[in-house]
Structure 1
Amino acid sequence: MIAARSSWRIILAALLAAFALAVPSLARAEPLTIRIGFASIGVDNRPFAGGDTLAVAHAEGYVQRALQADPDVKVEWYFFKGAGPAVNEAIANGQLDFALQGDLPSIIGRASGLKTKILAATGAHAPTYLAVAEGSSIKGVKDLRGRKVSIFRGTNNHLAVVKILAANGLTERDLQVLNMDTATTNAALASRDIEAAFGNFPLISLAEQKKAAIVYSTKGDDRGLERQCALLVTEAFERAHPDLVAKVVKALVEAARWSSDETNRDALIAVWAKSGTPASVFRYDLADQDLRYRNAPIVDPFFVEQYRVQAKQAKAFGLIRRDVDVTGWFEPRYVDQAVRELGLERYWERFGPDGKPLGS
């Protein structure tokens, strides 16, 4: 009886194995969804962003095309009105695999224990603006002492503002700071409920409507005052799917190459304008900046040094409570591989820790 049962088990196992071979779809892996988040959202909650190369990779389908050979892989894009802090929360809750994130939110996330890797730059040299109410007597940063000023805390504008103030002999304590998001800032500045605001391209739109005036920009100032943004990936996703990480990063590099071509300047602005922000705003934002400089995806010594310095500054300025070590945080092998495969080794200029071109 025991022998008979064993024989039936052997036969049943053989039948199941043969059935699995005959119907391979039963053994196919579960579909995988790559979740990519933006620390921004378009006007009226449009699912588009502007001002960086990941926005181009999204709007023009670079990432989707890179994954065409992977039918079981799809991509979902998420846009966060709450900017960097909301993206950090989504990463902490396991809701994102990749994210476009500014320097300070990334540093705050690392200080809080988020396990991420910085893969590539997506806005390594972005400017910050100071706008004031129309007709204001404020002519520059030094005039802000004692004034009511909006700063969107926790965003990469925040750390840039702290550095700008320090360069002008001021701290946040010298101002009457109000923590406001972009929409609230624009409304308050237009109604003169505040006297000034720091921010990026949405302030340009307000100035074009004659509801504010821009009196300062970091363009042409110290490189160290620029804002940095990067593409992040969670450590768990990078360990599990390095092949997919390579494809996403290569798609970003292809988008960055297109976005860095001066012949595409108008087309680039049109893509960013899908976010609902007027093309004239992006034209102003890109003025006096070389596209190769603005849109370089490479992780060079300057980029790494900015995060190292800013991590220290964030602690010194009380924006985080603990030291943040950036050692091991950057994973440039994917972007370097993509640059080599696309023959772009000499396309983007690399800068040293001091902001000077390497080899100069």
Structure 2
Amino acid sequence: MLFRSLLRWTALPLLAAFSLHAGAQTNTLRVGFQKSASLLTLQKSSGSLEKRLAPLGVAVKWVEFPAGPQLLEGLNVGAVDVGFVGEAPPIFAQAAGASFVYIGFDPAAPEAEAIVVPKDSAIRSLADLKGRKIALNKGSNVHYLLVKALEKHGLKYSDIQPVFLPPADARAAFERGAVDAWVIWDPFLAAVEKQSGARVLLDGRGVVNNYAYYLAERGYAQHNPKVIQALFDDSQAQAAYLKANTRAAAAVIAPLQGLEPEVVEKSLTRYPFGVKPLTAAVAAEQQKIADAFHALGLIPKPIRVADALPGGASVAEAAR
């Protein structure tokens, strides 16, 4: 598998860290996921991960969360073993003292998140957002998009009125005019574009990377390297299927997400998919987000992303 070769050459410290305590195995992998995470939703529906882990004697339990911040809470309290989230939730979670490690990432997907306004809105530019109410899920990937988009267009975070709402409540507020704009990710983005005619004011291109991360409880990662490898092998296989059969995959995923197949298909085209081992460069980008959030007072203390890397000093030093 591609992941295995990547792991061999670019993540030796990561494997070594996992293998230190590889003797203790578990018989269940508890996966934290969001329905908006289309690849994991496909894996869950197909049972592909269960089939891959069966030879290891490991079952799979899927635990659904409404968004990344809640998933990180579940990981921190021991409700799940691994999870998949956007780039901002781990920053907030680490600042709150959560114990986890980054174990992999998906490639950048800047088009998969955007600031949208109602189709008939008078707002035509980022500058028009000054003083406006903007809905977003606090601590999610779009939080960073909003910060950087404002900065790029000469506005400060304090120039707008953030309204913190989870996706379902945010859409309701957006459609009844209680907020002026909404910062959201796919497939919710594709849905509001098609169903409400929402207009994209700006997406992440040229502003943010919008990476997504696989995270694990530190002890689980250390003790179960074969399970982690199987998860990534299956993610790679299903990602390849999805890319080659996007319409068919969308037809499977759509009813599970409560969306039309064409909406899901559009959202799938904006994600590259394909888990990779965390690199020093990606870790450094994550550190930039942490530093930006601390400078704005969004997290109470500075954090070192390197402290949440499983590879120890070699990866941490490279990230700095």
**TM beyond 0.5:** yes
The alignment of Structure 1 onto Structure 2 pairs a total of residues equal to 286
1:150 touches 1:178 (CA, 8 Å); kept in 2?
yes
Work out which of the residue numbers 100, 124, 128 in structure 2 matches 1:116: 100
Equivalent position of 1:147 in the other structure: 132
Equivalent position of 1:204 in the other structure: 190
TM-score (normalizing by structure 1): 0.72
Work out which of the residue numbers 68, 80, 84 in structure 2 matches 1:100: 84
1:51 offset after TM fit, Å? Answer: 4.5
Specify whether residues 68 and 187 from structure 1 end up closer, same or farther in structure 2 by C-alpha distance, changes over 3 A only: same
Between structure 1 and structure 2, the one with the greater Rg is 1
Letter in structure 1 aligned against 2:245:
N
Q: Write out per-residue CA displacement over residues 5-53 of structure 1, whole angstroms, 9 at most, x where no aligned residue.
A: xxxxxxxxxxxxxxxxxxxxxxxx9972221101x3xxxxxxxx24543
Letter in structure 2 aligned against 1:144:
L
CA distance in 2, matches of 1:50, 1:189: 19
Work out which of the residue numbers 243, 261, 277 in structure 2 matches 1:279: 261
**SS of match in other structure, 1:67:** helix
Work out which of the residue numbers 71, 86, 111 in structure 1 matches 2:70: 86
1:124 touches 1:303 (CA, 8 Å); kept in 2?
no
Letter in structure 1 aligned against 2:76:
A
Work out which of the residue numbers 221, 246, 266 in structure 1 matches 2:229: 246
Work out which of the residue numbers 216, 221, 237 in structure 1 matches 2:202: 216
1:190 touches 1:211 (CA, 8 Å); kept in 2?
no
1:70 offset after TM fit, Å? Answer: 3.0
1:99 touches 1:232 (CA, 8 Å); kept in 2?
yes
CA distance in 1, matches of 2:282, 2:121: 36
TM-score (normalizing by structure 2): 0.80
1:120 offset after TM fit, Å? Answer: 1.7
CA distance in 2, matches of 1:109, 1:245: 21
Work out which of the residue numbers 172, 178, 203 in structure 2 matches 1:193: 178
1:302 offset after TM fit, Å? Answer: 4.2
Equivalent position of 2:18 in the other structure: none
CA distance in 1, matches of 2:260, 2:253: 9
Equivalent position of 2:42 in the other structure: 56
The answer to whether the aligner puts 1:264 opposite 2:245 as a matched pair is yes
Unaligned runs of 5+ in 2: 1-23, 312-318
1:35 touches 1:75 (CA, 8 Å); kept in 2?
yes
Higher relative contact order (CA 8 A, sep 6+): 2
Specify whether residues 170 and 124 from structure 1 end up closer, same or farther in structure 2 by C-alpha distance, changes over 3 A only: same
Unaligned runs of 5+ in 1: 1-28, 41-48, 333-352, 354-360
Specify whether residues 194 and 311 from structure 1 end up closer, same or farther in structure 2 by C-alpha distance, changes over 3 A only: same
Equivalent position of 1:227 in the other structure: 210
1:137 offset after TM fit, Å? Answer: 0.7
1:286 offset after TM fit, Å? Answer: 4.5
The answer to whether the aligner puts 1:175 opposite 2:160 as a matched pair is yes
- Cα RMSD (Å) of the superposition? 2.6
Letter in structure 2 aligned against 1:232:
L
Q: Write out per-residue CA displacement over residues 38-77 of structure 1, whole angstroms, 9 at most, x where no aligned residue.
A: 1x3xxxxxxxx24543333323222111111133x21110
1:52 touches 1:295 (CA, 8 Å); kept in 2?
no
